Structure 1
């Protein structure tokens, strides 16, 4: 399987494609690629029986695709955990090296790495890490953008996207923060919220709010 196909499988998994239909637009935004590129790759993934595509409804992983995505995600997130927790990488800088390492690592090494790290359940940006036996807790797929004015939530995880993680490092929104949404600005403007622990007010861009998951 090519690295490009693997990237698509991982992002479809992250966006919830094992449980629901994902749109081409979501994939394009998450990977920073053109819509036409997504269309072409989805055709290839369908031909490989890794995804199903229902016109006007969306894209979801097949059983085979989900299994492949889980293995890729496990490898990638274990290496991210190692690089951040043991080598002091910044979260926004970890993706590229984890991408390289996941492709050159044997299953035996991955199992030893998981044990060395203490069998972590989640990576540094909050994503679930499937275990050796394929079991894992289900991720939340409720995005910040869908939280109504006046509602409270807890920041659960971020999409593994360098630009997003750079942005979040600047605004200082973190995993585990308890928030209250105060206003959705019209015409795809920023979402205004308050951090409940400190009372600090914050604005999150409309696009970014679609790749921040909450519980």
Structure 2
């Protein structure tokens, strides 16, 4: 059984850190302060301070100049949060017809008050979905999940072709991706990375159009 959602001393901000570290691959790989700062849209100094607190509390291991990984305690907590969040996102789309960009704000509120019993009831009612609407894997009620790609578009070399697999559920990002008509499953060939944190130029082979994707947005798009 997954542990109950309530966790002593776990604030919503710390929960956001756990989720993003997990989403960036911190259960198995090292995640940098910069990745977290870009993904949460906060200053790097704030990340350093929070990571220090979370290391003291046993949720992460921080190796200076190497990166951050989740401890088993951190993984267990992150899995519950991610499961609750993504189940609610799926419910909001499938049952209530919410548009993709509006999911995160609502799911963020709901995940913090979701018991294990409620999460399991949602899972049953939805037919045990394996992925949320923006492509993220939903852990099952035992905490099992298949490993998902942690390769971001910004790290793909020029000339390589990849498939879009998921997005970070950020309102501004999802609105932006809707505007440029980039979808999960699209095949992209990376043409060029502009220097000095400039945009990534890609050809969308699925829609047969060229796209210019901003530096920050390219950190929110996972590919394989």
Provide Cα deviations, 1:108-144, integer angstroms capped at 9, x if missing partner: 1111111111111111111111000111111101111
2:219 aligned with 1:210? yes
Question: Which runs of 5 or more residues in structure 1 are unaligned?
Answer: none
TM-score (norm 2): 0.92
Asked if the contact 1:31/1:161 (under 8 Å) is kept, the reply is no
Task: Show structure 2 runs of 5+ residues with no match.
Answer: 1-9
Aligned residues: 215
Q: Could you tell me whether the CA contact under 8 Å between 1:181 and 1:193 is conserved in 2? A: yes
Picking from 37, 48, 55, the partner of 2:64 is 55
Distance change >3 Å, CA 190–CA 8, structure 1 → 2: same
Greater mean alpha carbon deviation, residues 49-58 or residues 142-151: 142-151
Q: 1:109 and 2:118 equivalent?
A: yes
Using the TM superposition, give the Cα deviation of residue 14 of structure 1 relative to its aligned residue in structure 2, in angstroms. 0.6
SS of alignment partner, residue 36 of structure 1: helix
- Select the structure with the greater relative contact order (CA < 8 A; seq sep ≥ 6): 2
Aligned to 1:11: 20
Residue 127 (str. 1) matches residue 136 (str. 2):
yes
Question: Structure 1 115/141 Cα, relative in aligned 2: closer, same or farther at 3 Å?
Answer: same
Separation in 2 of the partners of 1:26 and 1:148? 18
Cα RMSD of the aligned pairs, angstroms, is 1.2
After TM superposition, give the deviation of residue 53 of structure 1 in Å: 0.4
- In 2: Cα distance, 1:214 partner to 1:199 partner: 18
Runs of 4+ in 1 over 4 A off after TM superposition: none
Q: Secondary structure at the match of 1:170?
A: helix
Partner of 1:198: 207
- The whole-number CA distance in structure 2 between the counterparts of 1:198 and 1:4 is 38
Corresponding residue of 2:157: 148
DSSP-derived class of the 1:87 partner: coil
Give the aligned partner of residue 137 of structure 1. 146
Match of 2:84 among 72, 75, 79: 75
